[in-house]
Homo-oligomer: A and B are copies of this chain.
């Protein structure tokens, strides 16, 4: 039974299920088990099977959430031998989803994974579990039982060494004199291109904000740009390099869509040079 004296538990929820009812079905399962949960839809339009995109969004959002029991499902291997897991983070959250690399960026953003469990105890699943919809049948009910206090982290299944969890390959970031070689790790809905690395790497390569730079995306032509603190520092339609709201270097066109203009995509190599 939920303990209605505690504050309402918060469950962040991300999938690639789209907007046609599957995510809402999972939410209903969670509410059936934990009626006072605040389930917060982080995104359900993650491109299908795009584990890296889902991982980026989950990691960018969760640091702004209350400590909670958060669920992510981008799961091309559903029904195969990939493990359903839960991770405990240094901050105190529990992250629930498939062991395919999706959860670890968020765990890193919350201080790292301090423990992991396989979701092997079927007592916390729905009574009948399909082989194609683990979001509804395994991940959501386990998270809700944890949120409501029925289940404990130790009680949901066998321990796993966090070092054994599947991790996506890290993008390469290299700073050489006057140049940052990095990689597009996410393209947002504004067409802004988020890059691997951080402010220190960008400043080490091209100096402090305010300077002129050139940007090459993929095999494209160099584009003149400015390392700016705000979009408004460059004219409408011009290109800027900035530190995004998650602390990554990023590329944008002021009031335009840089990714549409340059065909930039996740995985593209990017070089930023002082000019």
Contacts and interface: CB of A to CB of B under 8 A. Distances in A.
Interface in A35-59: 35-36, 38, 40-46, 48-49, 57-58
Contacts of A211: none
Interface residues of A, number: 60
B38 A189 contact: no
User: What is the count of identical protomers in the complex?
Assistant: 3
Contacts of A21: 14, 42-43, 57-58, 60-61
B61 A35 contact: no
A28 B12 contact: yes
A45 B64 CA distance: 22
B64 A32 contact: yes
B35 A20 contact: no
Does more than half of chain A's interface fall in helix, strand or loop, or is it mixed? loop
B36 A10 contact: no
B25 A43 contact: no
Given A19-B43, A19-B44, A255-B76, A61 B232 contact: no
Contacts of A46: 20
A88 interface: no
A10 B31 contact: yes
A190 B78 contact: no
Contacts of A19: 43-45, 189
A132 interface: yes
Contacts of A244: 132
